[in-house]
Amino acid sequence: MGTSSQKPARRIVHYRFGDAQDVLRVEDAVHLSPLKAGQVRVRVTRSIIHPGDLQLIAAKYLQTRAEIPEGRVPGSEAVGIIEEAAPGALDGSGIAIGTRVAFLAPGAWQSLVDLPAAALVALPDDISDDVAAQLLVNTITARHVLRIGLSSLGARPDNIVLTAAASAVGKVIAVLALRDSLHLIRLVRSLESATRLAEILPGGDIIHTASTGWQEEVRRAAEGDLRLVIDGVGGPMVAEIGRLLNTQGTMVSFGLLDGGPADLTMFLPKGLTLRGATIGTWQADTRPEEQAQDIATAIDIARTEPQVFDGFRVFDLFDLGAAITAVAAPKKSGNVLLKF
């Protein structure tokens, strides 16, 4: 039996694609349909707004601008408590009704979510809902990006340059690289950000790109060996990185914080490789055992490096507009969460 009557169910929905501030609305949601085989019903307590969620709402990478008569609930990651389960759905999982879980699934921005039991990740008691809502996408993306970058090279690199190093994914990449004794040259936009990052995650070199001559600082730190760059900025930064990379170097892109056009002029004459890596390709690109290890790593980082997830802000649903604005704030230093 479920206990979903404890709180009214709400959902965030859009009926057309466009700017999230214009098209999103909060409305009542009623769950009437029975669970399908293998499904569970989770009451969400927190969900995260990833920049990619807003890009999907805007149909940034789609050709369609069509109406959505039935409505679409955005979101891809959340944490909550299992309220109901289809018969046998939880058998052998070690998870039961009442268990607190994190999950990756479409339609996460709603109070009640029906999803496959296989998508659930049981949470230890010492990881808060606020931290748990930030774990999966950021850690999985970081592991995925590093795996692709390192496998593209014939030998272990002496250095890795990381842009957007103060971003959520960038901080997790730093944890993973430093654990593996990889020399990381981290790029951030300002001296303030560099100082804050050094306090949170010391190690390697941290260079802010607002300074004149930052490119020479990178070259000195790399001592001439620049074969791999992991980029979360895009835009004009791509051309700057292309100039820095060694001939036949590789750039792995995991984000487009800049959003502007990228100049690939240097890629052809230097024989550079550009590879994209996102959470959307994770399951297709990895083996089940790698996926399990990625999730285990997410739990481990939350317990051993909790400062990586500090600086977050939590918004109630009635303050959705302010939450959306906070995601793109120029000095954003932490993730933006929704409270259900």
Q: For residues 76 and 137, is the Cβ–Cβ distance under 8 A?
A: yes
The overall longest dimension of the chain from CA atoms, in Å, is 65
Q: 4-134+312-339 with 138-281: one CATH topology?
A: no
Q: Which of 204, 264, 191, 201 is nearest to 231 (CA)?
A: 264
The three-point CA angle 220-225-229 to 5° equals 95
Q: Which two tokens stand for residue 293?
A: 């290890």
Is the pTM of the predicted complex or chain greater than 0.75?
yes
Please give the average per-residue pLDDT across 145-172, as a whole number: 93
Is residue 6's pLDDT more than 70? Answer: no
CATH superfamily of 4-134+312-339: Medium-chain alcohol dehydrogenases, catalytic domain (3.90.180.10)
Nearest-angstrom CA–CA distance, 216 and 112: 52
Is residue 5's pLDDT more than 60? Answer: no
User: Using one digit for the tens of pLDDT, what is the confidence trace for 25-66?
Assistant: 999 988 778 999 999 999 999 999 999 999 999 987 776 667
Nearest-angstrom CA–CA distance, 114 and 36: 9
Is residue 331's pLDDT more than 80? Answer: no
SS3 call for 153:
coil
Nearest-angstrom CA–CA distance, 197 and 274: 27
Helix%, strand%, coil% for the chain, nearest 5: 35, 25, 40
Nearest-angstrom CA–CA distance, 274 and 324: 30
- Strand-pair partners of 102: 79, 121
pLDDT recorded at residue 3: 44
Please give the average per-residue pLDDT across 199-206, as a whole number: 94
User: Using one digit for the tens of pLDDT, what is the confidence trace for 85-142?
Assistant: 999 999 999 999 999 999 999 999 999 999 999 999 999 999 999 999 999 999 999 9
Please give the average per-residue pLDDT across 251-276, as a whole number: 91
Q: Of the ranges 65-69, 150-154, 298-302, 331-335, which is most confident? A: 298-302
Please give the average per-residue pLDDT across 236-245, as a whole number: 94
Q: Collect all residues with Cβ–Cβ distance below 8 Å to 299 and sequence separation of at least 6.
A: 121, 123, 124, 127, 135
The domain spans of the chain are 4-134+312-339, 138-281
pLDDT recorded at residue 316: 97
CA atoms in the 13 A half-sphere facing the CB of 20: 23
Alpha helices, DSSP H, located in 223-287: 237-244, 267-270, 282-285
User: Using one digit for the tens of pLDDT, what is the confidence trace for 165-184?
Assistant: 999 999 999 999 999 999 99
CATH for the stretch 138-281? 3.40.50.720
Give residue 19's identity as a one-letter amino acid code: D
